[in-house]
Structure 1
């Protein structure tokens, strides 16, 4: 006898987020200094940029919106730490957003 009732599918495996291989420390910002927890470089470090590109593959507007929010928080934190000698707005733009812009072909 063939039945039309099927059991409900399970939830399946959890999605695998991109992560650095060989390290337990994630490439996330250590606030309020905004340096990378894994390698101490200014965040987003090179590895974090690669991981974010993979995570937001095909959604560059979403990546840009995410990074703008983080840049705003970094500006607030960094200027509270050192208001007299904080990074310039241009430097923060380059650090957080310029690398994520889509490449235009000539």
Structure 2
């Protein structure tokens, strides 16, 4: 074990994941279980399929807000997961695809100019 991983301070408690908010009574909510970032309800990696559907429903008219929220959760997850396993953590591209890459894509309002050939 490297001295860097033994000297690293434990991750601070970051913002508590507040979404998705709604769930059925008597059911476990589909929120992340930290620091492993697994779904509390079904044990899949968070955000699981059900959490993604619920997040899309909650942020229905605010895709920028959804992306900003998930980017914050990506930051928290990266910190927690790399602290748990600093030598074999998930690749950054995989974390991006897991947290932010699935969000709805909007084309820009102005198309970029085409380059003449």
State the TM bucket, normalised to the shorter chain.
0.7 to 0.9
Tell me the TM-score normalised to structure 2 length: 0.69
Is it true that 1:68 corresponds to 2:66 in the alignment?
Answer: no
Structure 2 unaligned runs (5+)?
A: 1-20, 108-117
Name the TM-score, length of structure 1 as normaliser.
0.76
Where do residues 72-87 of structure 1 align in structure 2 (5 Å cutoff)? Answer: 72-87=75-90
Q: How many residues align structurally?
A: 87
Q: 2:29 aligns with which of 26, 30, 33?
A: 26
Q: What pairs with 1:32-43 in structure 2 (closer than 5 Å)?
A: 32-43=35-46
Deviation beyond 3 Å, 4+ runs, structure 1: none
Query: In 1, distance between residues paired with 2:95 and 2:77?
Result: 9
Report deviation, 1:24. 1.4
What corresponds to 2:6 in structure 1? none
Secondary structure of the structure 2 residue equivalent to 1:32: coil
Deviation digits for residues 39-69 of structure 1, max 9, x if unmatched?
A: 0000000000000000000100000000000
Equivalent residues of 1:28, 1:38 under 8 A apart: yes
Q: Aligned equivalents of 2:104 and 2:95: distance in 1? A: 14
- Aligned-residue Cα RMSD (Å) equals 1.5
* 2:102 alignment partner, SS class: helix
Change in Cα spacing, 1:62 to 1:37, as seen in structure 2 (3 Å) is same
Query: How many angstroms does 1:103 deviate by?
Result: 5.5
Q: Where does the alignment leave 5 or more consecutive residues of structure 1 unmatched?
A: 1-16
* Cα separation, 1, equivalents of 2:26 and 2:88: 33
Find the structure with the greater CA-based Rg.
1
